[in-house]
């Protein structure tokens, strides 16, 4: 099971006698897979010579909440949705990620494209990143010389800085957004891969997400 934690926006209404509220994090889960269904819901391909990989998976709950839930806002009266308005779908969407690393440096390009349940391209995201400082490992098993996959994992850990470009389609026209990004990858004491993402937009807004796998 893969989880994504997203920091929720704070209320714009404050009271003089109240302390600043603690930040609220919402958890979204990608569809659980096992050895019997992984070929149906999730596919991944590795290309060692090209230092690249491709990942494809179907998800319903996470994309519904993150991309489409809340479109009616707090004034929702419970009536039927306006025509052509995107609302959460019970059908799975398809997420495809492709990543290629520089053969002679510490750079990489990641691209995501998300298709709605009808197979129409909904979102296209491109990250161009360069690896910064290396995050020290905290899980001793990753140093096991008998496990050759550890070298490949260790090479990906650390701080990745870059710039993202997001293009989103919609019934009211497409939108284009850019942001500076920082991704931190490290292993925790339980041997799980921890990913923390920061995004700062040109208009000064920022967000943070946290995930384990």
The two tokens of residue 142 are 């990753």
Q: Which of 135, 130, 131, 110 is nearest to 186 (CA)?
A: 135
Domain of 112, in residue numbers: 31-68+86-180
Q: Tell me, what's the pLDDT at 72?
A: 38
User: Is the residue at 185 inside a domain?
Assistant: no
User: Is the residue at 135 inside a domain?
Assistant: yes
User: Is the residue at 121 inside a domain?
Assistant: yes
**Residue 106 main-chain phi, psi, to 5 deg:** -110, 40
Prediction pTM value: 0.38
User: Is the residue at 188 inside a domain?
Assistant: no
Total number of domains constituting the chain: 1
Contacts of 27 (CB under 8 A, 6+ apart): 3, 4, 5
User: Is the residue at 64 inside a domain?
Assistant: yes
Q: Tell me, what's the pLDDT at 9?
A: 59
Successive 10-residue mean pLDDT values, the chain, 213 residues: 57 61 64 46 66 65 43 41 44 72 76 73 77 48 49 71 69 65 80 77 68 61
User: Is the residue at 175 inside a domain?
Assistant: yes
Q: Tell me, what's the pLDDT at 65?
A: 44
User: Is the residue at 111 inside a domain?
Assistant: yes
User: Is the residue at 90 inside a domain?
Assistant: yes
- Measured CA to CA, the distance from residue 7 to residue 206 in angstroms comes to 11
């Amino acid at each position: 099971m893969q989880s994504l934690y997203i920091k929720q926006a704070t209320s714009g209404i404050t009271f003089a006698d109240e302390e600043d509220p603690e930040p609220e994090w919402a958890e979204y889960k990608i569809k659980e897979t096992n050895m019997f269904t992984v070929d149906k819901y999730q596919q991944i391909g590795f290309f060692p010579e090209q230092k690249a990989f491709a990942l494809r998976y179907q998800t319903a709950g996470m994309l519904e909440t993150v991309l489409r839930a809340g479109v009616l806002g707090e004034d929702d009266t419970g009536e039927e949705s306006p025509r052509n308005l995107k609302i959460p779908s019970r059908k799975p969407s398809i997420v495809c990620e492709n990543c290629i690393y520089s053969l002679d440096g510490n750079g990489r390009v990641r691209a995501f494209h998300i298709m709605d349940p009808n197979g129409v391209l909904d979102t296209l995201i491109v990250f161009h990143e360069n690896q910064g400082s290396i995050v020290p490992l905290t899980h001793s098993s990753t140093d096991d010389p008998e496990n050759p996959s550890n070298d490949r994992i260790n090479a990906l850990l650390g701080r990745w800085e870059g710039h993202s470009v997001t293009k989103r389609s919609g019934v009211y026209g497409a939108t284009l957004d850019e942001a500076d990004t920082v991704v931190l990858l490290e292993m925790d004491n339980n041997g799980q891969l921890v990913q923390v993402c920061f995004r700062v937009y040109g208009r000064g807004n920022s967000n943070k997400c946290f995930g384990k796998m």
